[in-house]
């Protein structure tokens, strides 16, 4: 049934895979109705999907440098789009985003704009040019464009810092999901997550990660959209994206009648609310008044957009396409596939909020007696694991809006249960969250280990190393970095979202201007690039330490808090890079010619096929 090569058959192969996955979901539904326990269904969902990814990883094993680093540069446009979308959408996007919108409302949605708008910068400023360059890693571009080992080393530093911050959060998420679905302790779940991640990437590098990421995208988007559409239909809106206008207005009315009360920190402490749980105190759709609120929204969106365009694990996905043209198109497809999830997240938040708040719905809990709410099975389940909490501040025995505490993740993970959907949907959601966290972790661990093995080991330490040795070093590094990340995340140092936003800020502080000016400004020099990278990184990090709530916790300057420190870093980086470049000697004519060549979309790549 398969004529021709693997690449020609991709649509058929993934078509079959998707069909198989849908059949698997139906099978689970049949088992559930036959009385198989919810716990076993959860285990089967997660175990089965992870095994499939591991199988794809094994089948994609390779001993070629080109395949290991850039998947042989033959990933078709649309498939690369899917792989990038999975690479991009992390545990935070899948599990935490709808929860963030649920609690933060309009203000939080700056993340949505930031995490999509950044792709416009990727496609206009960077992706096609980096593809033309033909590099293996992002520091490979910096090192060749500016010349010398120092810029390469500095870029590696930023890449490792940004990606490592990010990957601990992802491994943390895989650990959380694995521990819940497989019913094992969190610390063990982290290591199970790590082994699953390594099985996908170790044997085949970028090639294996690409094909598992496509498979993971299919699982995660199915797992996200089915509950949204199902719940929408239950509430009479079969296509919720275009039909929730009235519901959003209804929420505003309910907020007005309930009043958005702010609890004092002392009250929260006295009631013993577990850490990380939140209550609704921001309006869902109203825009907060005042210039500061506008600036906070815009500055967050800017950090996420510019950070997107500097994150190495995303940029390196566009090194795998066959041509410059397809790299450009591939960015568009990536954003399309990301969009499918992101424009559903606010609808999920709206639906689940309405179900809890609207007294006309049978699922409502706000305004009911606390004794009654505490007897609802899902409230009991999630209270037992300290994910929801009730504090009767005014002692009237009735649940007010400000008395209901919940962890953000619960919005995605528990909504199927709240809406009374069968358990098979909860199992599906767990598998989707696992796919989202694993695919991002894979891309990140690979970005770090590829960069260390290529830029530090091969380019700086031992340029004479043969192919076999290089690939062994790459794989050893992959395991070491994965293990280090798993160890750190098993210590639970920071909440998932804090760490994710920091990765964007680190990347934009150190890499955005050196990358963009490398293509768009011929006058940018080696010294300028080093000043830009180090100046941005050092000032950004210093500012993070200055305002970070877990560090010195000083009052942020102009509302630039620890989620937005990239604004400081990137500004310093730009100024330092321009000033130092203008003070130093113009780049040599061969470098200038190289920049000219990068700007022409056709013809040979700057760096050869094997380098």
Partner 1 sequence: MSNKEAHWQKTKNHMFVTLAIWFFFSIVIFMFGESVNQGSFLGYPLAYYMSAQGSLAAFVILIFWFANKQEKIDDEHGYGGEKEDD
Q: Which residues bind partner 1 (CB under 8 A)?
A: 73, 106, 109-110, 112-114, 116-117, 119-121, 123-125, 128, 134, 241-246, 248-249, 284-287, 289, 294, 297-298, 301-302, 305, 322-326, 328-329, 331-332, 335-336, 339, 342-343, 346-347, 596, 599-605, 609
> In angstroms, what is the minimal distance from the CB of 333 to partner 1?
9
> In angstroms, what is the minimal distance from the CB of 363 to partner 1?
22
> In angstroms, what is the minimal distance from the CB of 93 to partner 1?
13
> In angstroms, what is the minimal distance from the CB of 293 to partner 1?
8
**Which one, 473 or 524, has the nearer CB to partner 1?**
524
565 φ, ψ (degrees, to nearest 5):
-65, -15
> In angstroms, what is the minimal distance from the CB of 107 to partner 1?
9
**Which one, 31 or 332, has the nearer CB to partner 1?**
332
Q: Which two tokens stand for residue 86?
A: 């999975």
> In angstroms, what is the minimal distance from the CB of 255 to partner 1?
13
What would you measure as the largest C-alpha separation in the chain, in angstroms?
A: 79
**Which one, 180 or 296, has the nearer CB to partner 1?**
296
H helix runs in 309-422, sequence order: 312-315, 324-342, 345-357, 370-374, 377-384, 410-418
364 φ, ψ (degrees, to nearest 5):
-65, 145
Ramachandran region, residue 132 (left: φ > 0; alpha: ψ -120 to 50; beta: rest): alpha
- Give dist(CA 66, CA 43) in Å, integer: 37
> In angstroms, what is the minimal distance from the CB of 564 to partner 1?
15
Neighbour-count burial for 137-156, b at 16+ CB within 10 Å, e otherwise: bbbbbbbbbbbeebbbbbbb
Kindly give, in sequence order, each residue whose CB lies less than 8 Å from that of residue 596, ignoring residues fewer than 6 positions away: none
**Which one, 121 or 576, has the nearer CB to partner 1?**
121
**Which one, 131 or 526, has the nearer CB to partner 1?**
131
- Give dist(CA 114, CA 58) in Å, integer: 36
**Which one, 269 or 604, has the nearer CB to partner 1?**
604
Burial of 523 (0-12, 13-18, 19+ CB in 10 A): middle
Q: Which two tokens stand for residue 566?
A: 């990239």
> In angstroms, what is the minimal distance from the CB of 364 to partner 1?
22
> In angstroms, what is the minimal distance from the CB of 30 to partner 1?
36
**Which one, 59 or 607, has the nearer CB to partner 1?**
607
Kindly give, in sequence order, each residue whose CB lies less than 8 Å from that of residue 554, ignoring residues fewer than 6 positions away: 546, 547
**Which one, 184 or 286, has the nearer CB to partner 1?**
286
- Give dist(CA 559, CA 554) in Å, integer: 11
**Which one, 343 or 557, has the nearer CB to partner 1?**
343
**Which one, 81 or 432, has the nearer CB to partner 1?**
81
Question: Can you tell me whether residue 310 is helix, strand or coil?
Answer: coil
- Give dist(CA 535, CA 574) in Å, integer: 9
CA 457 to chain centroid, in Å, comes to 28
Kindly give, in sequence order, each residue whose CB lies less than 8 Å from that of residue 105, ignoring residues fewer than 6 positions away: 282, 283, 284, 285, 286
> In angstroms, what is the minimal distance from the CB of 356 to partner 1?
19
């Amino acid at each position: 049934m398969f004529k021709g090569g693997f690449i020609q058959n991709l649509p058929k192969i993934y078509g079959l895979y998707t069909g198989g996955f849908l059949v698997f979901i139906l099978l689970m539904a049949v088992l559930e109705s036959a009385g198989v326990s919810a716990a076993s269904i959860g285990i089967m969902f997660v175990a089965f999907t992870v095994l499939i990814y591991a199988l794809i990883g094994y089948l994609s094993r390779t001993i070629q440098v080109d395949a290991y680093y850039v998947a042989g540069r033959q990933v078709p446009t649309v498939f690369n789009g899917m792989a990038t979308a999975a690479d991009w959408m992390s545990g935070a996007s899948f599990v935490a985003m709808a929860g963030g919108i649920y609690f933060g409302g309009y203000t939080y949605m700056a993340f949505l704009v930031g995490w999509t708008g950044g792709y416009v910068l990727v496609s206009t400023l960077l992706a096609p040019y980096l593809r033309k360059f033909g590099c293996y890693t992002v520091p490979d571009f910096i090192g060749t464009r500016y010349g010398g080992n120092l810029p390469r080393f500095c870029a590696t530093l930023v890449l490792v810092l940004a990606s490592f911050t990010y990957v601990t959060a992802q491994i943390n998420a895989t650990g959380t999901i694995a521990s819940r679905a497989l019913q094992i302790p969190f610390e063990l779940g982290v290591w199970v997550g790590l082994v699953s991640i390594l099985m996908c990437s170790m044997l085949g590098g970028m090639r294996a990660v690409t094909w598992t990421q496509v498979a993971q995208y299919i699982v995660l988007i199915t797992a996200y959209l089915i509950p949204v559409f199902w719940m929408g239909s239950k509430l009479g809106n079969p296509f919720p994206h275009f039909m929730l206008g009235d519901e959003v207005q209804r929420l505003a009315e309910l907020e007005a009648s309930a009043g958005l009360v702010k609890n004092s920190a002392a009250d929260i402490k006295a009631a013993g609310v577990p850490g990380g749980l939140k209550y609704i105190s921001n309006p869902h759709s109203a825009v907060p008044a005042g210039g500061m609120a506008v600036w906070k929204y815009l500055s967050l969106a800017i950090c996420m957009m510019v950070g997107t365009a500097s994150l190495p694990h995303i940029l390196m996905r566009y090194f795998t396409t066959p041509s410059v043209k397809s790299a450009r198109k591939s960015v568009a497809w990536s954003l399309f596939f990301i969009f499918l999830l992101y424009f559903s997240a606010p609808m999920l938040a709206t639906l689940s909020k309405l179900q809890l708040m609207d007294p006309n719905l049978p699922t409502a809990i706000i305004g009911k007696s606390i004794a009654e709410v505490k007897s609802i099975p899902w409230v009991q389940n999630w209270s037992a694991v300290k994910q929801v909490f009730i504090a009767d501040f005014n002692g009237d025995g009735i649940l007010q809006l400000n008395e209901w505490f919940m962890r953000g993740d619960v919005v995605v993970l528990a909504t199927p249960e709240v809406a009374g959907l069968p358990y098979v949907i909860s199992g599906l959601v767990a598998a989707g969250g696992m796919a989202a966290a694993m695919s991002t972790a894979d891309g990140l661990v690979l970005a770090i280990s590829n960069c260390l093995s290529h830029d530090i080991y091969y380019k700086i330490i031992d340029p004479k190393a043969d192919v076999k040795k290089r690939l062994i070093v790459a794989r050893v590094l992959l395991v070491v970095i994965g293990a280090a990340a798993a160890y750190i995340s098993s210590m639970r140092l920071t909440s998932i979202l804090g760490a994710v936003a920091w990765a964007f800020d680190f990347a934009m502080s150190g890499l955005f201007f050196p990358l963009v000016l490398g293509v768009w400004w011929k006058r940018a020099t080696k010294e300028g690039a080093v000043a830009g990278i180090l100046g941005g990184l050092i000032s950004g990090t210093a500012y993070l330490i200055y305002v970070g709530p877990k560090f010195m916790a000083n009052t942020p300057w102009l509302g630039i808090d620890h989620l937005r420190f990239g604004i400081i870093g990137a500004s310093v980086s730009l100024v330092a890079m321009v000033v130092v470049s203008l003070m130093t000697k113009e780049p040599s004519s061969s470098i200038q010619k190289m920049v000219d060549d990068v700007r022409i979309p056709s013809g040979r790549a700057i760096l050869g096929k094997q380098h």
